[in-house]
Structures are given as C-alpha cells and as structure tokens.
Amino acid sequence: MSLQSQLEQLKEESLEKITASDNLGSLNDLRVNLLGKKGPITEVLRGMKDLSNEERPKVGSFANIIKNQLQQSIDEKKVLLEQKKLQEEIAAESIDITLPGKKITAGTSHILTQVMEEIEDVFIGMGYQIIEGREVESDHYNFERMNLPKDHPARDMQDTFYISEDILVRTHTSPVQARTMEQHDFSKGALKMISPGKVFRRDTDDATHSHQFHQIEGLVVDKGITMADLKGTLEAVMKKMFGENRSIRLRPSYFPFTEPSVEVDVSCFKCGGKGCNVCKYTGWIEILGAGMVHPKVLAMSGIDPDVYTGFAFGLGPDRVAMLRYGVNDIRNFYLNDVRFLGQFQTKE
C-alpha cells in the first residue's frame, strides 16, 4: 500500500475514533496517541526516506494536511464535549422549583402578650405612659399604701406567696399606683399611666382561677378629674376593644383604695345585649374594677386630695382573651402546650 493510501486509511480510522470519543479524558488520550511523536502518522512518515525526491514533499504536505484535519476534528469534538459536560453539570445542579419548599416555622407571641399589647396601644393612643412595675413587692406598697392596713379584712381575699414577712409576690398591679404617684411631677402635666403585668394570689386553680394571672392597672390623677372622666375613658376603651356598638354600665362595689368604687360591665359583644352563653344570658360582661382614687391613697403618696383627684381601674387581660377567643379554661394560657398557643398567630 502506498504511503498516501496508508495515511488516508489512518485518517479515516482516526476520525472514527474521534467521533466515537465520549469524554474529554479519552479525547485527550486520542490526541496524544494520534498526533504525538510515537503516533501512527509519525510512524508512517518514517517510511518517507525510501521515497523519491519528487514524491517526498507531496507525501510530506499530504501528511501535514491530514495532521491539521485531525487536529481540527479533535478541537471541534473538544468544544462539543465541553458543552456536553457543562449541560450535564447544569442539569445536575438545577433546582426543581416545582418541589414544595421547606416550611419555616415562625414562632408567635403568647396570646396574652398579644391582647396586652393591643390594650396598651389603645391607651398609648390616648396619651398614657406604660409603667413597668415589679412582681416582687413589699407589703408596704402592695397593701399599706393601698389603704389595706395589716388587719384589714380585705387582705384575706388577696393572700399570696411571702418571701419574707414584708416581701411578697404582688397580689395586684395597684402598688404601681403608689410608686408612680410619689414620683410624679404635676408641673409637667397630668399623671396618666397604665401598668400591665403578672399578679399572684393564693387561689384554688380551676377553669376560671389561676394562682397567677395578669392585670392592667390604670391611673389618671390631675386637678378636676371626675367620675365622668372614668366612665368616658372606659367606654371609649371598651368600644376600641370590643366594637363601636358597645356600651358600659357601672355597679357599686368596694375596694379599699377607691371611693366610690364600681364594677364595670360591657354590653355583650357576641349577642349585643340580648343574652347568650358568653354573657350567661345577662347581656352584660363583667370586665373590670374601678373607682375614684381614695383621698387617703393620694395623701399617702404626697398628693393633696383637696387639690387633686383621680380615677383608677384594674382590668384582666386573661379574661378578655378567654371571652374573645372562647377559651374555657384559664389554665390553658399557662400550660405552654404549643397546640393551644400556636392557634393564635401574631398579627402583622
């Protein structure tokens, strides 16, 4: 076989191998084998020494053409294989956006926190300050300064956990009244505050009683504050909390630290006053205790009761939450069962 036809055959065989090559590694091996110093073309060209002077350059340039063709074919194949590899990588790394995403479970504020913050917002809108009290109180502020001296019978209803003879966990948020009044500077304006927080009483735990619950204390003191201010304020707040059509009624009551004292009822938000299971068929829901600050309480806090008057109220957010969401056992708020708590998603 002539050198030319040997080269021709080599070319065909090589092109086939290049076409068949299916990865960059084997293609590179092929390039080294075919075009390298020990490759078949070099081998064939060794036979050129036996050719005539005329034929040698012809075969030489033919061999170069074939070399170039193979080189070109390898280059083209290389580009193809590189593209193929890239496609495979992209396919392997791609994200299937039709798969459902992993759900991020965001926590939610405790329902009582939500209710308290909502009530706080109503009062902030009316120019009240929020005052943080303390859960561990002295007998002095919790009782004495609230006009409940040592042997006062009303202390029986508010027995609590004592840390020492004079230190206790507070039975109501009312001591914050005394602490705030004695600090207040009336030259800067009226005293208007609410104080939300935990309170503790020695109570038998049942569906509506817990030894730990919450209160929101309210206090307004200034010159010329009357019972009408108390009524107007509470009516406005109840409308904001339970709907514009609500009305309130006051019933006489007794607290040692207010005179006169009242229980405040709001017309039932569920039946509008006709009577239903929420209002126990009375049309009214008892929602808070209130009254005009007792002159003795003002005086004990260094405020002249002949010049200043005030009103105070105590509201139970646990009860508000129970009524509003139909929670029939107060203990649910304190059991920390996520199946219960998770039902009250935080409003954005």
For ligand PHE, the binding residues (CB under 6 A) are: 172, 174, 255, 258, 289-291, 312-314
Please say which residue, 8 or 235, places its beta carbon nearer to ligand PHE: 235
Please say which residue, 39 or 310, places its beta carbon nearer to ligand PHE: 310
Q: SS3 for 173-196, per residue? A: CCHHHHHHHCCCCHHHCCEEEEEE
Residue 240 and residue 222: Cα distance in Å, rounded? 24
CB-closest chain residue to ligand PHE: 314
Residue 239 and residue 72: Cα distance in Å, rounded? 86
Please say which residue, 196 or 314, places its beta carbon nearer to ligand PHE: 314
Please say which residue, 67 or 172, places its beta carbon nearer to ligand PHE: 172
Interaxial angle between packed helices 55-93 and 3-20, expressed in degrees from 0 to 180 and rounded to the nearest 10: 0
**Burial class for 144, CB neighbours closer than 10 Å (0-12, 13-18, 19+):** middle
Least Å distance, CB 291 to ligand PHE, is 5
Least Å distance, CB 135 to ligand PHE, is 14
Least Å distance, CB 114 to ligand PHE, is 22
Please say which residue, 191 or 312, places its beta carbon nearer to ligand PHE: 312
Least Å distance, CB 201 to ligand PHE, is 8
Residues for the chain: how many in total? 348
Least Å distance, CB 275 to ligand PHE, is 27
Backbone dihedral angles phi then psi of residue 327, each to the nearest 5 degrees: -85, 120
Asked if residue 260 has a cis previous peptide bond (ω within 30° of 0), the answer is yes
Q: Retrieve residue 299's tokens.
A: 């005086």
Instruction: Give the helix ranges, DSSP H, for the chain.
Output: 3-20, 24-35, 40-46, 55-93, 111-124, 139-142, 175-181, 227-242, 295-300, 317-325, 338-341
Please say which residue, 200 or 344, places its beta carbon nearer to ligand PHE: 200
Least Å distance, CB 257 to ligand PHE, is 6
